[in-house]
Chain A
Amino acid sequence: MLVDILPQGLKDFLGQDLVFWLGYISNGKHLNWYASVQYTLAAMVLGAAIALVVGLVAAAARSNGPLPLRWFAAAYINIVRGVPDVLFFLFFPLAFEQAVEWVYSFQVCTPETLALNAGRWPPCDAANISFSSFGYLILASVSLGLVYGAFVASVIAGALRAVPAGQLEAARAYGMTRMQVLRRVHIRQMWVYALPGIANVWMSIVKATSLLSLLQILDFVAWAQRLGAANFSRAAGLVHDDWRWRYYFVLLVFYILVTFVSEKIFGAIGRRLRRGMPLAEQNAT
């Protein structure tokens, strides 16, 4: 126990009750719970990074790609956004797993084993694959990125349209090529207009990471569920009855803290981006 290393004088000062509760919230299982924040945070950051890349690519394909690509991007943006995030979040890892199993089945399945499992999944028992918890974390981040990439794409498409035409015309008049205008002026200024929308998508990603436990990932939410459930132990009897609501309210506070901190950070970034852009200051808020 971590509280055992406290000096006796401090323990006397705190009193027996407080020392007990300090011991409770710092026991091994609770330390595991605090450590599991890393998975939630990793999924947030990785998911957001993938969403940003997917969103940029989809926005570019939507506006500048060849025709079939343009249709594909439009279909992706509209379909993904019309479907609940939880549905896609569960669908993508399962579909990916089955695709891997299907490819793998060509190597390991014999015609006999295939016939034995006909009409069922996996194609044969040897082709059954299950990913590690880490693998699911990566898959979950990718599906977060794919879902919220569609939201980022429409934010960026809107921001690209919001850059004043005069800015682009002026850059053209200076003799910049189209690519130079795009890189040096259009995309640079686009960020100012896109930032409020991107901040909103980030908040959505933060909230969507609460779904990680649905993919059997032992994240912050899953640990809270375990710790809150009525706890019997053979040595101590009933340790506590159903305390789940207390743990869930700790989770709510955790998420509110994350959104609060993100809000402050995005506010600071926005102020910095808008330096010397009086026009953007009016439109971007």
Chain B
Amino acid sequence: MTALDVLIGEVVRMAPAALFNIYFAVAAIPAGFGFAILLALGKNSPNQIVNRLSRAYIYFFRGSPFFIQLFAFYSLVLAFNLSTWKPLGIDGFVLHPLFLGPAILALNTTAYTAEIFYGALITVPRGEVEAARAYGMSRRQRFWSVTWPNLIRIAWPAYTNEVVFLFQATALVYFTLPVIGDQRDLMNLAEVLFQRDYNVFLHFGVAAGYFLVISFAIFYLFGLIYRRLMRHLPQERRLKFSWRRVQGLS
């Protein structure tokens, strides 16, 4: 067997595992997106209780490591197993990594996305909103026809980075959650294969290659969407390729 055969065999062997990472990301993104809109509005709300709660949620999830969040929420759900999930007969579903993984990922990405959306929300041109108000639009109309289109265009580049980092965070899921049968993601499979023959460069290298390629694919796809969002503008403003993430607590 030549080195190329070995490499191709490894790429083929890891392909199903990559699907698990993609599944985790795809399952977590819509929920995170939806909740983030609500949370961003909450952080901007004049209602003190809603405002404080939204801020606390965002601070909590952005200030602590996702790895520990996984541990904490998994063990919390596990602690309710005998008292709640088992009697209801839904323990197999609630404790399944294919449910719990995306659920905890969604909790995490909601906070990061909400911070991005909040940043965009407060930079939406004030004049446009005031004009809509002068036309007699209702609150709901103002939001969906003026604020939201502006918000998503401002937030899209930063949101793209958040999605890429969410995809990379899926590598952590199976360090915490139990592996059921042959359901392994890239990182877990790379570790299992490494334990067999100690070939760190082959297994980790191919796994890294998959992450790189899929990250680039996300950038490409989101770049296309960005171009569509910006199609009303005369000059072609393309999403610049960059890994920069508005992360941490700035």
Contact of A207 among B65, B187, B208, B243 (CB under 8 A): B65
- Given A98-B198, A200-B248, the answer on whether A252 and B211 have CB atoms closer than 8 Å is no
Chain A's closest residue to B208 (CB) is A83
Q: Does A110 contact B (CB under 8 A)?
A: no
Q: Chain A contact residues: over half helix, strand or loop, or mixed?
A: helix
Complex contact B248–A245 (CB within 8 A): no
Is B51 an interface position by the 8 A CB rule?
A: no
Which segment of B8-16, B56-64, B124-132, B146-154 sits at the interface? B56-64
Contact A154 B67 (CB under 8 A): no
Mark interface residues in B200-211 (1 if CB within 8 Å of A CB, else 0): 110010011001
- Shortest distance in angstroms between B106's beta carbon and chain A's nearest beta carbon? 17
* Residue from B64, B198, B204, B246 within 8 A of A121 (CB atoms): B198
Chain A, residue nearest B69 (CB)? A252
Any B CB within 8 A of the CB of A45: no
- Chain B: interface size category: 35 or more
Contact indicator A207/B64 (Cβ below 8 Å):
yes
Contacts of B200 in A (CB 8 A): 91, 94-95, 98
Closest beta carbon of chain A to B163's beta carbon, Å: 13
- A to B contact number (C-beta, < 8 Å): 130
- For B211, what are the chain A residues with a Cβ–Cβ distance below 8 Å? 82-84, 87
Q: How many Å from the CB of A71 to the closest CB on chain B?
A: 17
Q: Is A196 an interface residue (CB 8 A)?
A: yes
Name B201's contact: one of A95, A225, A249, A256 (CB within 8 Å).
A95
Shortest 10 CB-CB contacts between residues of A and residues of B? A203-B248, A248-B72, A121-B198, A200-B248, A207-B65, A210-B65, A245-B75, A84-B168, A84-B171, A81-B243
19 contacts between A and B (CB under 8 A): A81-B243, A82-B211, A84-B169, A87-B208, A90-B191, A94-B194, A95-B200, A196-B250, A201-B248, A207-B66, A208-B65, A210-B65, A211-B67, A225-B71, A228-B75, A245-B76, A248-B76, A251-B68, A263-B249
Enumerate chain B interface residues (CB-CB to A < 8 A): 59-60, 63-69, 71-72, 75-76, 78-79, 168-169, 171-172, 175, 187, 190-191, 194, 197-201, 204, 207-208, 211-212, 215-216, 242-250
